[in-house]
Chains A and B, each alone.
Chain A
Amino acid sequence: MTLLELINFYLIPGVVLGSIYALGAVGITLVFGILRFAHLAHGDLATFGAFAALALVAVGGVNVWVALPLAMAICGAAAIGIDKYFYDYLKERPKILTVMASLGIALMLRAIVQVVWGVDTETYTRGIVRPETYWGIRIRDRELYTVIAMLGIVAVLWFFLKNTKWGKAMRAMSDNPDLALLSGVDNRKVTMLTWMIVGMLCAAAGFFLGLNTELKALMGWTMLLPMFAAAILGGVGRVEGAVIGGLIIGIVEEMSVLFIPTEYKAALAFAILLIILLVRPTGLLKGKVL
């Protein structure tokens, strides 16, 4: 096999898949860092976002690139609603109850998708897209857009966290919640803001997974484990870590078929998760220890 084949058939799909994982993992790391629980509905929230975009494309007749920001807004609002009507009631209780509740939310979201959109696989656009070739490297437009969009979205989030008052409040809440409260940070506002951002990131992850593969009710759920592995690999609470973790998991998964049977691909994220927890529980970039 030549180097070009390695790049074209394994590295590029790996980076694309990794970018999708990264979008999800950033959301997971934000929930972990600021709200301090494992959000098991993350994958199904991504499914919901992906299907919201499908509704806009198929029923509303809008362009997919218009559908993306709209779906992000819808999914962000949905996440705020889920927090308000479910998680918020449990905030004084042990966190494990919220984790369990999020599993229930995951099942609910999936059921909504199945009831509203059915159980068939769907796509945003029909027809086969031929990859373009640049100096022997074959890449589809949608693959290029996925990676660029991931970098763009993460850059905007990064800027927001570093330079705005409420972004800093989110970081402060993640860093030292008691001191943040003593400083007058409104916990409720930070929580709502976090959910809005997390919902938007979920929709983006779901959208790009749907764009590059196809939409089905289980698409997000099957992505949950790799997204968690990416967040923990990068270091919990670390946005940049989640991006690196996502890319690593995506690339390793695609490359793995060179060495192990394809059926075991799904188990790979689990193996990486176990290894990182054993060897370096803080993740690659020093994150919180769970």
Chain B
Amino acid sequence: MLQKATSHVLAMQEVRGGYGDADILHGVSIEVAEKEIVVIVGPNGAGKSTAMKAIFGLLKVRGGSIMVDGTDIAGWTPNRIVQHGVCYVPQVNNVFREMTVHENLEMGAFLNKGDFTEACDRVYALFPDLRERRRALAGNLSGGQRQMVAMGRALMLSPKLLLLDEPTAGLSPKYMEQIFEITRGVRDSGVSILLVEQHAKQALAFADRGYVLAAGQNRHEGRAADLLADQEVAEMFLGG
């Protein structure tokens, strides 16, 4: 039995839904506690990214509940969800390539009426590399730096929960480590993180807890270290 954390930033229960009429998710339950890094792993087509998009209101949720800070956000528009403190970094095309690093951050604070210098400073403190390259076009940055811009943009509104869809996809192992390092830094600044990862082993080695999804359902869940050690999980999903 999992130890219940004191307060859950995210608690999704038995969520069903899909893009069109057919369901892709057949009852997915995921919880994220405060300042926790939770990873979703699983084979291709298991519904990992779909589960994340369901949280962010990008697909039809036909059953279950998605509680964020005690409020059910199922059926909300992404705009409203952003204002409720959940930000999302898509896997691809996650920066404005023809805008500068600084302008990318500004776009992250688009919904914020007031001054966002403070938010920019906070993000630059997390990613010092970006401050140096603030006038560079995001499209001209390296893959790792671009991922920092994408995360920085999402962090501008000080979310409680950050959703990362395969942040290390297409990056070299060196950058993968760097992204995990950055993600830890973001968590330490007080943000809960839910990420989907293709590199299951590496991700489980770095996360606090994990969920293994298969065919749109929860298959295994537990502390990341336990999942890594689990014989069945290893054989079925981690490639032996």
A43 vs chain B, min Cβ distance (A): 28
**B96 partner, pick from A165, A176, A181, A184, beta carbons under 8 A:** A176
Say which size band chain A's interface belongs to. 10 to 19
Binary CB contact string for chain B from 97 to 132 against chain A (1 if under 8 A, 0 otherwise) = 111000100111011000000000000000000000
Please tell me which stretch of B61-69, B86-94, B167-175 contacts chain A, meaning at least 4 of its Cβ atoms lie within 8 angstroms of it.
B86-94
User: In chain A, what residue has the closest Cβ to B96?
Assistant: A175
Q: Does B27 contact A (CB under 8 A)?
A: no
Q: Are B93 and A178 in contact (CB under 8 A)?
A: yes
Q: Are B93 and A168 in contact (CB under 8 A)?
A: no
Q: Are A183 and B110 in contact (CB under 8 A)?
A: yes
Number of interface residues of B (CB under 8 A): 20
Residues of B within 8 A of A176 (CB): 93, 95-97
Q: Are B97 and A169 in contact (CB under 8 A)?
A: no
In the complex with contacts A168-B106, A171-B98, A184-B111 CB distance below 8 A: yes
Binary CB contact string for chain B from 56 to 91 against chain A (1 if under 8 A, 0 otherwise) = 000000000000000000000011001100001010
Q: Does A276 contact B (CB under 8 A)?
A: no
* Residues of chain A from 134 to 190 with CB closer than 8 A to chain B in the complex: 165, 168-169, 171-172, 174-176, 178-185
**A168 partner, pick from B78, B88, B97, B99, beta carbons under 8 A:** B99
Binary CB contact string for chain B from 127 to 154 against chain A (1 if under 8 A, 0 otherwise) = 0000000000000000000000000010
Q: Are A175 and B110 in contact (CB under 8 A)?
A: no
Residues of A within 8 A of B97 (CB): 175-176
In the complex with contacts A176-B96, A176-B97, A168-B90 CB distance below 8 A: no
Q: Are B99 and A185 in contact (CB under 8 A)?
A: no
Residues of A within 8 A of B106 (CB): 168
Q: Are B110 and A185 in contact (CB under 8 A)?
A: yes
Q: Are A179 and B93 in contact (CB under 8 A)?
A: yes
Residues of A within 8 A of B108 (CB): 183
Give complex CA distance A179, B104 in Å: 10
In the complex with contacts A168-B103, A168-B106, A181-B78 CB distance below 8 A: yes
Residues of B within 8 A of A182 (CB): 78, 82, 88, 90
B117 vs chain A, min Cβ distance (A): 14
User: In chain B, what residue has the closest Cβ to A162?
Assistant: B103
Q: Are B95 and A184 in contact (CB under 8 A)?
A: no
Question: What residues make up the interface of A, taking CB atoms closer than 8 Å to B?
Answer: 165, 168-169, 171-172, 174-176, 178-185
Question: What residues make up the interface of B, taking CB atoms closer than 8 Å to A?
Answer: 78-79, 82-83, 88, 90, 93-99, 103, 106-108, 110-111, 153
**Known A168-B106, A178-B90, A179-B90; 14 more pairs at CB < 8 Å:** A168-B99, A168-B103, A171-B96, A171-B98, A171-B99, A172-B96, A175-B97, A175-B99, A178-B93, A179-B93, A180-B107, A182-B78, A183-B82, A185-B110
A-B interface, 6 closest residue pairs, ranked by CB to CB distance from nearest = A184-B111, A175-B96, A183-B107, A183-B110, A175-B98, A184-B110
